[in-house]
């Protein structure tokens, strides 16, 4: 991996240029990725929760949070503080070790997945060459924590919720991976940076959503199912199993589940924007805009503006997808568990497999258009 292509290499080189030894610069860098991940994910979750409250209120023709800070912006912070100070209760007959370990196993893989997310050009914590494969592997760990939490609670509703979560994740993990493999095949790389770069140069016409419309739909449906969003929230369906695997949880342990669900939603939206919507790429190529304005594309000011707008573009695409996910929650009814599993195994899986084979065939026939 070329260290100069990622945030780590740039940070270390900047400290070296200031006179710090390379060893000391690496030592200073070590805790920063975790701090950056926590800050980015926490801010993303707070924005997502506020967005959910306001959009839900608008759909139901009410105002939503308004008095806790301007426009209710501090409502998510108030929720977080409430959960921090709430009593943490462990059921008497629960397995205390597994009960505590479950939420940690659920949230850790999601946080670690942010390592490979590029928020802008050269703005990624670690440009791992197998970034997409790493994300797929990490996402497979989460159901273990959900099943562990449901089993350890010693509650029939929690156990049912854990079993549903495991079955749902297994059902949608394979179509999700197959749809991603089609994009990887076109990009000839597992690196998220390379996937975005492969879509740049032609503006909106170069984005993968036009070459992979079926893969985009499959990925988005499977991602919503992985995040357990409506209409796929069967593992915590209140009308059937109280709160599923979360039934016996309170305090910070419940907060970990709450945070993990929203962090996972933002992560899924980020991945959709990176894999199918060009990431930080603009709908109109920057070089074309520079020519219209009579500015050289290598001008330092233009490069700084492009970097800032690239981050903005990534976040706009991401939160537009979050908006769609929230809108679906209040407009689509919940499916039954048998319908959920049938959709994954009998519908999405065969279509994802055909889409992958079709992509391979088109890559051989039209190598220029499909990344040959």
Q: Examine the pLDDT at 313 and tell me if it is beyond 90.
A: no
Mean local confidence (pLDDT), 84-105 = 84
273 belongs to a structural domain = yes
297 belongs to a structural domain = yes
Q: Which of 82-96, 281-295, 317-331, 356-370 has the highest mean pLDDT?
A: 317-331
52 belongs to a structural domain = no
Q: Residue 275 belongs to what domain range?
A: 87-365
pLDDT given at position 220:
92
Mean local confidence (pLDDT), 162-173 = 87
At 2, is the pLDDT very low, low, confident or very high (cuts 50, 70, 90)?
Answer: very low
**Bridge partners of residue 123, in order along the sequence:** 120
Place of tokens 């070790």: 97
At 271, is the pLDDT very low, low, confident or very high (cuts 50, 70, 90)?
Answer: very high
Pick from 264, 289, 269: nearest CA to 113: 264
Rg (CA), the chain: 22
Mean of pLDDT over the chain: 82
pLDDT given at position 366:
77
29 belongs to a structural domain = no
58 belongs to a structural domain = no
pTM of the prediction? 0.85
Assess contact for 256 and 145: CB atoms under 8 A.
no
Pick from 170, 190, 194: nearest CA to 182: 190
189 belongs to a structural domain = yes
Pick from 250, 278, 226, 253: nearest CA to 113: 226
Least trusted range by pLDDT, from 61-75, 182-196, 271-285: 61-75
Separation between Cα atoms, residue 192 and residue 212, nearest integer Å = 16
In sequence order, which ranges of 91-232 are alpha helices (DSSP H)? 96-113, 131-139, 142-152, 156-187, 192-199, 208-211, 213-226
pLDDT given at position 1:
43
pLDDT given at position 371:
62
Assess contact for 183 and 278: CB atoms under 8 A.
no
Work out how many domains the chain is built from and give that number.
1
pLDDT given at position 8:
63
pLDDT given at position 4:
39
Q: Examine the pLDDT at 372 and tell me if it is beyond 60.
A: no
- Higher-pLDDT residue of 23 and 148 is 148
CB 110: neighbour CB atoms within 10 A? 26
Mean local confidence (pLDDT), 121-149 = 83
49 belongs to a structural domain = no
pLDDT given at position 5:
43
21-45, pLDDT tens digit by residue?
777 777 776 677 777 777 877 888 8
336-364, pLDDT tens digit by residue?
888 888 888 889 999 999 999 998 888 88
pLDDT given at position 276:
92
pLDDT given at position 3:
38
**Bridge partners of residue 120, in order along the sequence:** 123
Structure tokens of 152?
């350890």
């Amino acid at each position: 991996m070329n260290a100069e292509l990622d945030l780590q290499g740039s940070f270390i080189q900047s400290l070296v240029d200031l006179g710090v030894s390379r060893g000391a610069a690496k030592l200073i860098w070590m805790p920063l990725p975790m701090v950056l991940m926590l800050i980015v994910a926490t801010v993303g979750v707070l924005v997502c929760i506020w967005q959910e409250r306001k959009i839900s209120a608008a759909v139901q023709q009410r105002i939503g949070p308004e008095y806790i800070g301007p426009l209710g912006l501090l409502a998510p912070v108030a929720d977080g503080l409430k959960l921090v100070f709430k009593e943490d209760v462990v059921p008497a007959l629960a397995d205390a070790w597994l009960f505590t370990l479950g939420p940690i196993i659920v949230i850790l893989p999601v946080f670690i997945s942010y390592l490979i997310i590029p928020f802008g050009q050269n703005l990624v914590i670690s440009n791992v060459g197998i970034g997409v494969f790493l994300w797929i592997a990490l996402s497979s760990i989460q159901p273990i924590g959900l099943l562990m939490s449901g089993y350890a609670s010693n509650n029939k509703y929690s156990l049912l919720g854990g079993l549903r979560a495991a079955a749902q994740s297994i059902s949608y993990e394979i179509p999700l991976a197959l749809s991603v493999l089609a994009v990887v095949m076109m990009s000839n790389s597992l690196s998220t940076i390379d996937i975005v770069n492969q879509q740049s140069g032609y503006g909106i016409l170069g984005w993968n959503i036009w070459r992979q419309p079926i893969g985009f739909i499959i990925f988005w449906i499977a991602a919503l199912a992985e995040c357990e969003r409506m209409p796929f929230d069967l593992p915590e369906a209140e009308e059937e199993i109280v709160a599923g695997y979360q039934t016996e949880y309170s305090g910070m342990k419940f907060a970990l589940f709450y945070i993990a669900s929203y962090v996972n939603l933002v992560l899924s939206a980020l991945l959709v924007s990176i894999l199918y919507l060009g990431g930080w790429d603009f709908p109109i190529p920057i070089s074309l805009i520079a020519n219209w304005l009579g500015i050289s594309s290598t001008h330092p000011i233009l490069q700084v503006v492009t970097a800032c707008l690239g981050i903005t573009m990534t976040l706009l695409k991401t939160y537009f997808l979050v908006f769609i996910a929230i809108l679906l929650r209040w407009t689509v009814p919940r499916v039954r568990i048998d319908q959920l599993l049938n959709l994954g195994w009998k519908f999405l899986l065969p279509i994802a497999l055909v889409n992958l084979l079709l992509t391979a065939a088109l890559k051989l026939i039209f190598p220029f258009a499909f990344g040959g």
